Amino acid sequence: MQSFPERLALVAGEASGDLLASVVLPALRTRLPQASLCGIGGDRMIAEGLDAWWHVRELSVRGYVEVLRHLPRLLKLRRQLTARVVAWPASTYIGIDAPDFNLGVELKLRAAQIRTMQFVAPAVWAWRPRRIDLVRRAVDHLLAVFPFELPLFERAGVRCTYVGHPLARTIPLHADAVVARTRLNVPISAPVVAVLPGSRAAEIDALGPPFCAAIALLLRSDAALHVVMPAADDRLHERLQRMIERARTDASRITLTLGRSHDCLEAADAVLVASGTATLEAMLFARPMVIAYKVPLFTEYLTRRKALIPWIGLPNILAGDFIVPEFLQGEVDGKALAAAVLRYLEDAALVARLRARFVEMREKLTRDTPGLVADAIAATP
């Protein structure tokens, strides 16, 4: 292995990984100013200096069924990426989340004497616990973002460093809803609900219709209520726009944005959100939330059989308890979702207790994540 990581291959697999890596890249460029940064990333990583061989959109698929449909293309891309990293050659490969894609690449690269690191551990504590053996064989150094992961992986013989979660430092501790609403040009004093149905087409297709049904009910429940909904890209913006039109509700009280998910969360009194990184972002903004999760039945069957914990939302996982409601599969119904959101709008004491709990949880995630990640990458193996 080379002793100095002058050529770094960084690979994110979806929008959340692109966001996480973009927070770290400035510190990495400061720590290693001469390093070349190449790989797979999105607009945020590219803006921070990544030379993207492929855009993150090429990897953004979801669930077993969706992966199977795209499998030939994904396998070809993985072969091409592995060959390119070896030929370059990279001194260090850093996989950012996306373990289904990155661990297979890391296994081959480690065999080729290229140092491998994984930033964000695979969720072996939630499902597929046997994957911890693959992590041990594929990864030289694991950078964990949750404190409970450190002893789990160390017991399994994986070199692991807890670096905290980068979003705990970048999302403001004291969010200002008035300022965010001004930026979004939405009513200052009205109840505002942020609706985040996901960042991938499959998520939008599954959750968009029940979320729009919930929106229609929420708007009917309060003539002043306003909804803000971010779309990850142009294609999803158009998709959501069509769903809103089909819901036949008052579109004048729905602000559909291109990006700007953090503005939407900061502006909100309550949040309806797809399970994923956005639930952690809502927690860091101290916003009460309702979590929904819906995947094809075959995906659900495989996932449920391997789950080791009863929660799917990151706030509940971190708390070890159902502190916010989760609606899964057939439970994802517009009427039920709207009722759960309305409870937050009507119960100030519940919201105050929940926000206090979120602040406590945030403290455990707050570290100098960019510096710790950059130091780990720059360290001699």
Domain 7-165+367-378 shares a fold with domain 177-365: yes
Q: Note the pLDDT of residue 64.
A: 45
User: Which residues, in sequence order, are CB contacts of 264 under 8 Å at separation 6+?
Assistant: 180, 184, 194, 196, 228, 229, 230, 257
In this structure, what token pair is assigned to residue 145?
A: 């973002």
Q: What is the pTM of this model?
A: 0.79
CA 322 remoteness from chain centre = 20
CA pair distance 31, 36, nearest whole angstrom: 12
Q: Note the pLDDT of residue 70.
A: 63
Q: Note the pLDDT of residue 370.
A: 94
Q: Note the pLDDT of residue 302.
A: 43
Q: Note the pLDDT of residue 100.
A: 86
Mean pLDDT by 10 residues, the chain (381 residues): 70 88 93 94 95 88 54 87 96 93 96 96 71 93 93 92 92 92 96 93 89 96 96 90 89 93 97 93 97 67 54 88 91 95 97 96 94 91 67
Residues 136, 139, 141, 142: what is their CA dihedral angle, to the nearest 10 degrees?
A: -80
Q: Note the pLDDT of residue 127.
A: 59
SS3 (DSSP) at 187 = coil
What is the CATH code of the structural domain delimited by 7-165+367-378? 3.40.50.2000
CATH architecture of the region 177-365? 3-Layer(aba) Sandwich (3.40)
Cis peptide before 210 (omega within 30 of 0): no
SS3 (DSSP) at 320 = coil
CA atoms in the 13 A half-sphere facing the CB of 5: 24
> What are the structural domain ranges in the chain?
7-165+367-378, 177-365
**Number of other CB atoms surrounding residue 128 within 10 Å:** 19
Alpha helices in the chain (DSSP H): 15-31, 43-47, 63-87, 99-111, 131-138, 149-155, 167-170, 177-184, 201-221, 234-247, 261-267, 277-284, 297-306, 314-319, 334-346, 348-365, 369-378
Which among 5, 1, 22, 120 is positioned nearest to 379, based on CA atoms? Answer: 5
Q: Note the pLDDT of residue 248.
A: 84
